[in-house]
Amino acid sequence: MRFNLPRPRQLARNLREVAQSRPETTEEYLEANPEAWARIAEVDPHDAADILEALGAEAAREFIKSLVPEQVARILEEMNDGAAAELLQLLPEVEAAALVGSMDADEAVDVLNKLDDEEVPGLVDKLEPEAATEIERLLAYPRDSAGGLMTTDVASLPHGLTAGEAIEALRRMHETLDDLNYVYVIDDLDRLKGVVSFRDLVFARPGTGLDQAMVPNPVKVSTDADREVVSDLIQRYNLFALPVVDGEDRLLGIVTVDEALEAIQEEASEDMAVMVGAGSEETVRSAVTESIAKRLPWIVVNLALATIVAFTIERQKDVFDDFVVLAALMPVVALLGGNGGAQSLAVVIRSMAINQVPSQMVPKVLLREARIGLAIGVAIAVLAGFMAFIISGGEEKVAVVMAIAVFANLSIATFAGAGIPILLRRLGLDPALASNIFLTFVTDMVGFAGFLVIAGVLL
């Protein structure tokens, strides 16, 4: 494989694309051209991280041997947290600890949270005291809280400075701080007093005091604020970062918009997983035993609910003796109800995730979904009845049974898709918690058992 591209960034992008489909080809090229790999790692850690993820942990371990620890640390920060943790597990503990110590504390904590609990203390014990103290402090916060999301690298200045003095202080900070979008003003006790954007600070007259240039009482959160609250505030006020304070209003750190976006994506993926009964933190890198332990209980629940459906169907088996065509039509009723319910479920869970379904909105949401279910139910019932009429060879009663069953299942399923997550939230549970399993039970009961009951009455 040859690349006639002198620019390392473009070369990295080409290698990244090839690595997604043919990792062995990329691996062979980098082994034959070590200088290209060294240049990519230096110029673009993000693309280097993508390449190592595609190659896998075993190959990645070999390629990082040629890099200095600071370069590897930057690459680890850009990698998926699970992939970075998997790579650290393949390294000697002393070497892994050196890399963790070279990472930004908040990034290091994200990776450490992906390791087994028993592995973390050993790594932290081998860190420099200052780095260990910072990482231990961040590890103490829940992962889905503002404290767990924040970085302690924050531009803060005492309120007594002038704008000119502040700019000079920021010039000195620039070497160690990446994010200077906002400058936070604190008092002598580190309590947050205000915030001023870097742009406004530059255009302020040099003699203007920070207390005049700042916006007092900025939007802020406590360390225990949920990540949904953090993301909502950043989105609502169009912030690049959100300050995090303790109980005495002392500035501890900031949550950047990048961290908030990642939190939103993680929240959405967790909701999708738990909605079908998988583990909220399960990934393709999770241990097989861990995945089994998280999935198995909900599959058992699913079996128990399916048994109820099967028992109900068995009680109506005589209906098949006279109308065999019902066996072909029955799954269609359940399928249509399942699709309609899933659509409603997805809309409501998404709306709940972004705080669009407060308690006072519940009746309106349920009424809306009920109206949608009734309207769709009528339309599809007519089409399904016509289809049943043709398949049954002109049996009008079969067509009527099919139309009634489809209407009932779509109407009930759409309402259930909205009601199940709302009910779970009312009970103090995660609204997405296995919602799909309970919805399937409802649609199967109406789609299979209800269909046969209707058929038994009308045929």
Q: Where are the chain's structural domains?
A: 8-144, 156-257, 288-458
| Distance of alpha carbon 292 from alpha carbon 31, whole angstroms | 38
Q: What is the pLDDT of residues 317-339, one digit of tens each?
A: 666 556 677 878 888 888 898 88
Q: Which of 208, 189, 308, 309 is nearest to 251 (CA)?
A: 189
Q: Which pLDDT belongs to residue 2?
A: 47
CATH (residue range 156-257): 3.10.580.10
One pLDDT digit (tens) per residue for the chain, 459 residues: 444 444 667 887 888 888 877 888 888 988 898 888 988 888 889 889 999 998 888 999 999 999 999 999 999 999 988 889 999 999 999 999 999 999 989 899 989 988 888 889 989 999 988 889 999 999 999 888 999 999 888 889 998 898 889 888 888 887 777 777 888 999 999 999 999 988 888 888 888 888 888 999 999 999 999 888 898 898 889 888 999 999 999 999 999 888 887 777 666 666 565 555 555 555 555 667 776 777 677 677 767 877 877 777 666 666 655 667 787 888 888 889 888 888 888 888 878 776 678 788 899 999 999 999 999 999 999 999 999 999 888 889 889 999 999 999 999 999 999 999 899 888 887 776 667 788 888 888 888 888 888 888 887
Q: What is the pLDDT of residues 49-78, one digit of tens each?
A: 999 998 888 999 999 999 999 999 999 999
Question: What average pLDDT does the structure give for the chain?
Answer: 84
Q: Say what angle helices 396-426 and 362-391 make with each other, to 10 degrees.
A: 160
Q: Which pLDDT belongs to residue 282?
A: 55
Tally Cβ neighbours within 10 Å of residue 337: 35
Q: Which pLDDT belongs to residue 88?
A: 94
Q: Interior CA angle at 335 toward 331 and 340, to 5°? A: 155
CATH (residue range 288-458): 1.10.357.20
| Distance of alpha carbon 38 from alpha carbon 66, whole angstroms | 8
DSSP label of 152: S
Q: Which pLDDT belongs to residue 354?
A: 65
Contacts of 206 (CB under 8 A, 6+ apart): 162, 163, 164, 167
Q: Which pLDDT belongs to residue 268?
A: 62
User: Contact 210/181 with Cβ under 8 angstroms?
Assistant: no
Strand stretches in 205-268, DSSP E: 215-216, 221-222, 241-245, 251-256
Q: Which of 263, 262, 293 is nearest to 278 (CA)?
A: 293
User: Contact 67/51 with Cβ under 8 angstroms?
Assistant: no
Rounded (10°) CA dihedral 178, 179, 181, 185? -110
- The reported pTM is 0.63
How far is the CA of 193 from the CAs of 189, 240, 243, 327, in angstroms?
11, 18, 11, 71
197 has which bridge partners?
182
Q: What is the pLDDT of residues 258-286, one digit of tens each?
A: 888 777 766 666 656 555 555 555 555 56
**Is 156-257 the same fold as 8-144?**
no
Q: Which pLDDT belongs to residue 433?
A: 65
Q: Which of 77, 73, 79, 39 is nearest to 57 (CA)?
A: 79
Q: Which of 219, 226, 222 is nearest to 355 (CA)?
A: 226
Q: Which pLDDT belongs to residue 432?
A: 67
Q: What is the pLDDT of residues 197-217, one digit of tens each?
A: 888 888 888 888 888 889 999
How far is the CA of 345 from the CAs of 196, 206, 331, 381, in angstroms?
43, 56, 21, 21
Q: Which of 111, 135, 110, 113 is nearest to 124 (CA)?
A: 135
Number of H helices, E strands in the chain: 24, 7
Can you name the CATH fold of 8-144? Answer: MgtE N-terminal fold (1.25.60)
